[in-house]
Amino acid sequence: MIILFFGNENCVKCKSLLEQLVNADITKKATLKIVDAFKDEYQDFCDEHGVDELPHIKIYHENKLLYELIGYGSSSDVKLIIDTVNNIK
C-alpha cells in the first residue's frame, strides 16, 4: 500500500495532518511518500495526480485508488485515512 501525501512545509494544515498520520503509525502497513507540491521538480507528478489543493492524499493498494482526500476538514478525515490503511489485509 502506498500513501501519496502532497503538501508543503509552509502549509499549516499539511503539517498538522502529516503529524497526525505519523503519530498514528500508519507506516507499519503503508509506504508514505511525501511530495512537496511547490517544488518545480514535482510539478509534472502533481499535475498527473490532479493536485490543485493542499493537502492532497491518495491511498493506493495493488494499483487501485482506495481513498482520496483533497483539502483537510476535520479529525474525521484523519480517522478515515487511518481506518482505510488498517482495514487492508
Domains of the chain: 1-39+52-71 (3.40.30.10)
Average pLDDT over residues 10-29: 89
Mean pLDDT estimate for the chain: 91
pTM of the predicted model as reported, rounded to 2 decimal places: 0.90
Over residues 24-67, the pLDDT tens digits come to: 888 888 999 999 999 999 999 999 999 999 999 999 999 999 99
Give the alpha-carbon dihedral of 54, 60, 63, 65, to 10 degrees.
-70
